Structure 1
Amino acid sequence: MQMPLVMGVDGARFGWIAVMRDTADPSFADVRMFAQFGDILTSAVPPSIVAVDMPIGLPERAGAGGRGPERAVRPLIRERQSSVFSVPSRAAVYCDDYRTACSIALVTSDPPRKVSKQAFALFPKIREIDSLMTAEREAQIYEVHPEVAFWRLNGERAMSLPKKVKSRINSPGLDERSELLERYGFAREFLSQKPPRGSARDDLVDACASCLIAERILQGKARPFPEDYERDVRGLRMAIWA
């Protein structure tokens, strides 16, 4: 295997699904499941760039529309913007109890806003990354968002079909995204394979899109949203890359 290796990572039901590509041989692609995000960083062949679909950098107070990254990318993906949830305050993210998280979110947001059940389900994974992130690791780990990735890969046009409808996988939407990924070198057989145990087809497709953004980051072609991003109290940048 040639280096450098880039990786797109998506949170799945049982851990993290990771799609890897060798930038010297784009025909090479592999997919693995990791129980913990930290396992990616200590793997036998650690990737040069990790593009992960999970918020990095947490606000002390949440403003209208969430952090700067959420506000910056929603207009780009238009009808797909419902896939971008507003990240609440750090104190709310570090709550294990839903009602408590909502109470804290209310007093640490302006205007006051509770936490959605969908966002709350992601809190353990957000905390997992937050506990590992350092200023030094910012050169390796970048926050991405699949629909923003598809927007970029699709000539800066939002995908026309939803990936899910009423929380169920929408096959035409996934097929539309898979066809786009094929144009960037992913084999049809790779995209249509049975996903690893603990993940779903949409997780695999999203991880592939994130992997392509990892390549763009390595090549210096990606840019952050917003470009004038802020940093949280720990000094971590708050930006979605594409």
Structure 2
Amino acid sequence: MTAIGLGERTLAGVDVAKGHWIAAIEHPDGRAELRLISAFRDLTDRLPGGSLIVVDMPIGLPDRIVGTGRAAEQATRNVLRNRRSSVFSMPGRAVVEAHGIRMRTRLSIAEAFVRAGQLARTLSDPPRGISIQGFGLLPYVAEIDALLRVDRDLAGRVFEGHPELAFAVLNDGAEMEFAKTNPAGLAERHDLLVRHGIGPELLAAALPRPAAEDDWLDACVLLLVARRVAAGVALSFPDPPERDRFGLPIAIRA
């Protein structure tokens, strides 16, 4: 698949961590750090200009979904045969725009989930609802989408990643043997990060609450993907990327 080359700059891998964002950041002078932030904009505002970010969140939203998800999700599932359930399908753009707000009561969340599923079915062929996991991502998807639609420079520096795809690509195409929810799975992912150059500043960093160890591992592997993007060797799933009506790429990088 075609790689994309970008210059040397501050790099970040970002994952969601229990209502926050956790970022593994590497600066051009070699310094590395973990940060926990409450809003994605806080991260982009605090990083130096020109920083490159890979985030585990859908970017690029088709108006209508054909098949089992966006082209990016379908291409990723073709690689992750054993962990395809880790790839959540996004609905059409209108669902994100209508329901990408944080609900405050259990009742409103339940009602919104039902309505989001109903709308998703009208925007897909064949008709598909939305999983509860996918529904839970909508506020984060909407947050990033709103930023990238109005900031074209930022849109060229923020890429979608997927941790399990990244681990597989970095492991010579072989998926992780164990789930990251058990000690063996955490250990094999940790070992892979070490082999690919994640250093002691990140490996020994105090884990900011409420982030869990798997959130930290995911952020670190996405930092490795950011390195690959900057080096011009990142892969695109699919290749070439599709684009939504705002010009945002619909592709997962690894």
**2-structure distance, mates of 1:173, 1:188:** 20
* Structure 2 CA distance for partners of 1:233 and 1:183, relative to 1, 3 Å: same
Structure 2 equivalent of residue 98 of structure 1: 113
Structure 1 equivalent of residue 213 of structure 2: 201
How big is the shift at 1:190? 3.7
How big is the shift at 1:44? 5.2
SS in structure 2 opposite 1:7? strand
Return the letter of the residue paired with 1:36: A
Listed as ranges, the gaps of 5+ residues in structure 1 are: 164-168
Listed as ranges, the gaps of 5+ residues in structure 2 are: 1-7, 100-111
Structure 2 equivalent of residue 177 of structure 1: 189
**2-structure distance, mates of 1:52, 1:73:** 15
**1-structure distance, mates of 2:20, 2:134:** 16
Query: Which residue of 231, 235, 242 maps to 2:243?
Result: 231
SS in structure 2 opposite 1:133? helix
Matches within 5 A, 1:57-76: 57-76=60-79
* Structure 2 CA distance for partners of 1:162 and 1:193, relative to 1, 3 Å: same
1:213/1:222 contact within 8 Å kept: yes
How big is the shift at 1:23? 4.5
**2-structure distance, mates of 1:174, 1:20:** 20
Return the letter of the residue paired with 1:216: R
How big is the shift at 1:113? 1.1
Bigger drift between 141-150 and 127-136 goes to: 127-136
Matches within 5 A, 1:137-156: 137-156=154-173
2:16/2:56 contact within 8 Å kept: yes
Task: Report whether the alignment pairs 1:36 with 2:53.
Answer: no
TM-score computed with the length of structure 1 as normaliser: 0.90
Structure 2 equivalent of residue 166 of structure 1: none
How big is the shift at 1:73? 1.3
> Where does structure 1 differ by over 6 angstroms across 4 or more consecutive aligned residues?
none
Task: Report whether the alignment pairs 1:55 with 2:58.
Answer: yes
Structure 1 equivalent of residue 9 of structure 2: 4
Structure 1 equivalent of residue 107 of structure 2: none
Q: Which has the higher contact order (CA 8 A, sep 6+)?
A: 2
Bigger drift between 95-104 and 114-123 goes to: 95-104
How big is the shift at 1:58? 0.6
* Structure 2 CA distance for partners of 1:23 and 1:74, relative to 1, 3 Å: farther
How big is the shift at 1:46? 4.8
How big is the shift at 1:220? 0.5
Count, aligned residues: 233
**Percentage of matched positions with identical amino acids:** 42
How big is the shift at 1:22? 2.8
Structure 1 equivalent of residue 143 of structure 2: 128
**1-structure distance, mates of 2:36, 2:226:** 18
TM-score computed with the length of structure 2 as normaliser: 0.86
Deviation string 1:1-60 (CA, Å, 9 cap, x unpaired) is xx72100000111311000113553xx321001111011111053562100000001111
How big is the shift at 1:228? 2.2
